[in-house]
Amino acid sequence: MPLSCVAATPARTAEPQPLPDFRKLVKQNEAAVVNISSTQAPSKQNTNRKPGLPDLPGKENPYLEFFKRFFQDRPELPGDRQSNSLGSGFVISADGYILTNAHVAQDADKIIVRLSDQRERPAKVIGVDDLTDVAVLKIEGDNLPTVKIGDSDALEVGEWVLAIGSPFGLEHTATQGIVSAVGRNLPSGTYVPFIQSDVAVNPGSSGGPLFNLRGEVVGINSQIYSSTGGYMGLSFAIPIKLAIQVVEQLKATGEVTRGWLGVLLQAVNNDLAEAFKLDRPRGALVAQILPDSPAISAGFKPGDVILRYGGEPVEDSSQLPRMIGVTPVGKTVAMSILRNGEPLEIKATIARLETVEDPVTTMDEHSEPRLSITVADLSNEQRRMLSADEQGVLVTALDAGPAANAGLYPDDIILQINHIPVKSANQFVELAKELPKGKAVPIWVRRENETLYLAVRLPDDVPTPQAVPR
């Protein structure tokens, strides 16, 4: 039977989608976007800090220096005042409430808001929240143009967004791009799940609005990633839902109240997941418990891995501070944890967040060849600086090997190994002899002002220590 030929049907090509037209959006909203400048007495300024750089934690983060907030510095003026910041903001109510960044309004002696019609009005600072970089200002006025507030939780990666601000003082500049990521964690934002976009923003754009295609504000432009101080394709905005929660508290009381559990947390990597008997990296590892905290009263222990908070899963350690922070003070919350591989439920009554501080400095050395590490007993002074339930040994030297590979450093204090408290250098050496080959085990370490967990793994071919006749 002859074969019949069937003509191939040409593949249908998708109709090209038109690019969005932002003209109407800009016309409807630019009148609600304002320019903000402030003056500050020189005595109030921090001369130890480069202008435009936030005071960020985590000095060891290699990318930290590239996260910048958007200041534009002006030349020093004659007299006893200096104009030191220029930013943006937007009107959220017709009676003159304005939303901007904390670092735009902070420590200012005088703030001037310039409206879209070039009128200038002095602004009063209603409240500033450093932890989210949100500030609320108030100017006199009636029937002022306002923005429409959107739902930042509904944002999706790939969605078009537009920013309006005053980069380098060029007022009402509009730039567009797409949402690159949501819920982004930055070294400067423990309580902020940033919106990342590729919208071009520059110094002076700080505090300006980020709009979706419906003309609704979904974020406040706050930071950029830059090695030059200018835009390099990565910008970060505070979700408007979080900002409005802060605004409500600042308007009501002038401050923001957050929940506090009293634990220092650490991310769980692959080795730590194995060491703590997790099926995969997830949860928040409790590295340290602060004194007089709800965590102590609830019975938390270092090494606990928090997997659920109030019924919500904790996939990453960065989620938990935000979950605790929005919990009402005095509320009792049930948490699912893993302790030594066993599931457990703990209930804690959340307290109010306050600032807590803590510190560490060398004596009879013992080397441990399996880990390629040398440790020493602590001095009395060092012991006094640890909490009552902490002892430990000091790392005095490291060679290439398992301990260095795990991330230990000289001057670290090892508090536990494989969940066993370390009381002396001699005991540490004995405990190290019992470590299994080829298996990750946790080491609890005090480093300067923080405590953290590391996972050390002995290679399969490491020699087993033998008794040597003397």
Residues with catalytic function: 103, 133, 206
Residues 290, 151: Cα–Cα separation, whole Å:
36
Residues 268, 279: Cα–Cα separation, whole Å:
11
CA 376 from centroid of its chain's CA atoms = 35
Residues 418, 384: Cα–Cα separation, whole Å:
24
Between CA 344 and CA 355, with CA 350 as vertex, the angle to 5 degrees is 120
Which tokens hold the place of 242? 């979080």
